[in-house]
Amino acid sequence: MREVSLRSKIAIFSVGLLTFLGILTETSLTVAFPILMKQFNASLDSVQWLTSGYLLMVTVVMCSTAYLNERFPAQAMFRFAVVTCFCGSLLCALAPNLALLMAGRLLQAMATGVATPLMYHLIFELVPLHRLGFYVGLAAMVVSLAPALGPVYGGILTNFISWRMIFWILVPLIAVLALVGFRYVILPASKNPRRFDAIGLALLAVSMLGLIEVVNQWGRMGIANWGFAIRLVITFTALALLVVHAIKGKRQIINFHLLARSIVRLRAANYFIFQFANIGISVILPLFSQKYLGTSALVAGLIMLPGSIAGAFISPFAGKTYDKHGPRITITLGNVSMMVGCALLCWFTKSSTVLTLTLLYMFIRIGFNTGFGSTMSDATKRVAPAEKGDVNTMFNTFQQYAGSLGTSVLAAAITAFEGRTSSVNANAAVASGTQLDFLMLTVLAFFGLIFTLMTYRLDSPKAKPVIKKVQG
């Protein structure tokens, strides 16, 4: 059987490391939120855009990567990602105000939005099917480990030096990475690229931004105001137009028709829930630790370290288990662990300690990394080879938007409690908002488990002829 060449391994490693550095900064600033709020005289609602706005930009860029990966060779895509990541990191390191820091974050987001799907694109094109689960497991480790390590990385630098070092360290690393990647990342563009769907991209961007603004408005002002109503109308109008466009439009920014296949649809929903919880917890746990338990930024970051290491260790083994035994074991265990872990965090929120948070987060991370990569791997095997790029784009878009929406929803819950509580009871408001967050995540994880159980029936022997026909 064909194996993966050394050149392919170096190419995947180069793009994977760039992806890792980009995603690392998604959550590395969360431990510095209290400091940034004081330094720039900004509210949590404004500062959280450094994470949710970053993720939103990543999502919008990812929407176009199915077209970009067909239109441009991999080396050109990699070069664009390296240059924008380098410039964005430099701007963030030097930013004198919140606006320029946000601008730098958006440049970094553009790089991550290109690099992440490119990593999967290389895997799907260069890795044989019998090794796909292992390599997608490694990619899932990159995607899931980086945001989990972000608070650790950011906490150490913020506590001992400055939050700006989060970005200064990236600058030389990206330069070295460019020297390697420019030589080995080689994959030609498609001979027949699709036409770009500008209308679909615009409608999708407005829908995504609108939904996050609806959530933020709820956190700031509640729902009984005109601002909330206007945002809600605009968002649902854009969503309705997007649905019509997806059904009748000749061009498709994302191939939503793939969701007509039941198992792909259920896997996509499960994938979204996994990442919603993953990024959301990575943001609110350090915030809760600092504002309720009174820990330093360093301790808040170190709470995440054991779970991050354990999750990274389990990902390749989960990929191998999927290759040998299929998706039932890994995805089921992942959903059960997420649900139980979030339920326990909800139960022990107001009586939690650093040790409690550390152990429960470790339990959640092991479960997450067990099921996350297998979800995408299994969906990929349910479609024809020509549609694998579309699955890649769709799942990566869902993944990033899940993180952006998760950050906004969970931060809005805390903001809503803080806005309705006096400063004397600020700690109680943080605890109540965080407890509500964990309750929401528990409910979502329960639905993820239900979706997984539903695939058992769809994947019965009677359904297998249909699957084979879809795969061609």
Q: Are 129 and 102 contacting, i.e. CB atoms less than 8 angstroms apart?
A: no
Chain centroid, CA 65 distance in Å: 16
* Length of the chain, in residues: 472
Spatial CA neighbour of 252 closest among 53, 20, 66? 66
- Structure tokens, 90: 């430099």
Q: What is the pLDDT of residues 357-386, one digit of tens each?
A: 999 999 998 888 888 778 877 787 777 777
- Residue extents of the structural domains in the chain: 6-194+252-471, 195-251
pLDDT of the residue at 425? 64
Q: What is the pLDDT of residues 170-179, one digit of tens each?
A: 889 888 888 8
pLDDT of the residue at 423? 53
* Global pTM exceeds 0.85: no
Q: Which residue reads 């326990």 in tokens?
A: 344
Chain centroid, CA 155 distance in Å: 20
pLDDT band of residue 194 (cuts 50, 70, 90) is low
User: Mean pLDDT across the chain, nearest whole number?
Assistant: 79
pLDDT of the residue at 465? 40
- 85-89, 289-293, 323-327: least confidently modelled range: 323-327
Class at the top of the CATH hierarchy for domain 6-194+252-471: mainly alpha
What does the alpha-carbon distance between residue 288 and residue 31 come to, in Å, rounded to a whole number? 10
| Mean pLDDT value across residues 249-269 | 78
DSSP letter for 56, please.
H
- Structure tokens, 361: 């987060």
| Mean pLDDT value across residues 45-70 | 77
Q: Are 36 and 29 contacting, i.e. CB atoms less than 8 angstroms apart?
A: yes
What does the alpha-carbon distance between residue 97 and residue 87 come to, in Å, rounded to a whole number? 17
pLDDT of the residue at 25? 81
pLDDT band of residue 472 (cuts 50, 70, 90) is very low
pLDDT of the residue at 222? 61
269 vs 404, higher pLDDT: 269
What does the alpha-carbon distance between residue 358 and residue 307 come to, in Å, rounded to a whole number? 7
- Structure tokens, 267: 């896997």
- Structure tokens, 14: 């180069």
462 has a pLDDT exceeding 60:
no
Q: What is the pLDDT of residues 4-48, one digit of tens each?
A: 677 777 777 888 888 888 888 877 887 787 788 888 887 766 787
